[in-house]
Amino acid sequence: MTPLEFGRRVLAWFDAHGRKALPWKDNPTPYRVWVSEIMLQQTQVATVMPYYRRFMARFPDIRALADASLDEVLGLWSGLGYYARGRHLHRAARILRDRHGGEMPSDIAQVRALPGIGPSTAGAILALAGGQRQPILDGNVKRLLARFAAVDGWPGQTRVAARLWELAERYTPSERVADYTQAMMDLGALICTARRPLCGACPLAEGCTAHAQGRETAFPSPKPRRELPVRATRMLLLRSAGRDVLLERRPPAGVWGGLWSFPECPPEVEIVDWCRQRLGLRVAVGRSWAVLRHTFSHFHLDITPVPATVTDAAEAVIAGDRFVWYNSQDCERLGMAAPVKSLLAALTGDLLDD
């Protein structure tokens, strides 16, 4: 199938069946497209839509996002996962405010230089918002092209990725680029699905090599499996006499970077001594709760929650921006990972909004 015929079929399908009611399709500015593309990384459209609407209502443009605090940004991101995306979005907005006049550049090299923006996301921003001829290669498009050309191997391999980029470049048309780009993402999400592709409804089935071989689900190859390591931590669910809960801001990098969590007490130390020495608090420790397992992409985290109550402030050393006594009724919304929100709700009896 020639590139001209490929593009014609994709666009004809999009005109008849493509998704046109997505909120970021209304007034697709570079900023609105950028936020949607970041939120959609490894996250389903249905999950993203309410988060996107709340985010846009609070941060309608780059300057509003850049001027906000990281706490407020991560507070609105809570529950969406992969929190580095929110941190990078905020940092990139500040770069755009300070170096680019609060506007997204039209040069792809400058877009790619921003934190959290890879080649496919950069291409999508410029194609969807500006109509630039830029190929994209998100997960859905990788799957579609791997099947169409029967590209063997896992897309994370350099050789396979290079071949898929060649195909993406070859088939991207020069006209109606925004519609074509959206159409390719829609085809992958709705038709060329991972487990049960709807080949009878696919406009590209006639030229698809995997379909001709009856091996649609053989492409692309899955990521090589490996046993995930297990890490363990002990979270201290510490309440004051007034029933507020002590939260600690995590370091800016690493797991849940910049989010608020419970203080983590090393398993080999005595909690009472640790609280007195590190926090300046005397505490009464309760019975540990059942272990809660949270799985990341690269390891399992086994959390042992330990409730405790402050009995006296010996020489309180809690100060600065690192700690906060949290009360869901009085405090502003803070960015927290899903397991922390669940434990906090169980501890206080509150239902925290997503």
Query: What are 235-259's pLDDT values in tens digits?
Result: 999 998 888 899 999 988 888 988 9
- Helices marked H in the chain: 3-17, 30-39, 45-58, 62-67, 70-77, 84-99, 108-112, 119-130, 139-148, 158-171, 177-186, 209-213, 271-274, 338-348
Task: Report whether pLDDT(216) > 90.
Answer: yes
Q: Write the pLDDT tens digit of every residue in 132-178.
A: 999 999 999 999 999 999 999 999 999 999 999 999 999 999 999 99
235 and 342, same domain (yes or no): yes
Pairwise CA distance, residues 6 & 18, whole Å? 16
How far is 76 from 55, CA to CA, in rounded Å? 7
Pseudo-torsion of CA 133, 139, 145, 147, nearest 10°? -170
| 264 and 295 share one domain | yes
pLDDT of residue 78: 86
Across-strand partners of 303? 233, 292
Based on the domain organization, do 214 and 267 belong to the same domain? no
Q: Does 242 lie in the same domain as 211?
A: no
292-295/323-326 β-pairing = unpaired
Residues 256 and 190 in one domain: no
Is residue 224 situated within a structural domain? no
Instruction: Give the total number of structural domains in the chain.
Output: 2
Mind listing the pLDDT tens digit for each residue in 285-324? 999 999 999 998 889 999 999 999 999 875 565 656 789 8
Instruction: Please check whether residue 223 lies inside any domain of the structure.
Output: no
Q: Is residue 353 in a domain?
A: no
Question: Quick check: is 169 catalytic?
Answer: no
CATH of the domain at 146: 1.10.340.30
> Among 218, 253, 279, where does a domain finish?
218
DSSP three-state, residue 282 = strand
- Is it the case that residue 225 has pLDDT exceeding 90? no
Give yes or no: residues 170 and 299 share one domain: no
Domain C-terminal end among 218, 240, 273: 218
Q: Where in the sequence is the domain holding 41, given as residue range(s)?
A: 3-218
Alpha-carbon Rg for the chain, nearest whole angstrom, is 24
What is the average pLDDT across 86-104? 97
Are 257 and 84 contacting, i.e. CB atoms less than 8 angstroms apart? yes
Task: Please report whether residue 238 resides in a domain.
Answer: yes
What CATH number is associated with residue 314? 3.90.79.10
Q: Which of 37, 72, 216, 248 is catalytic?
A: 37
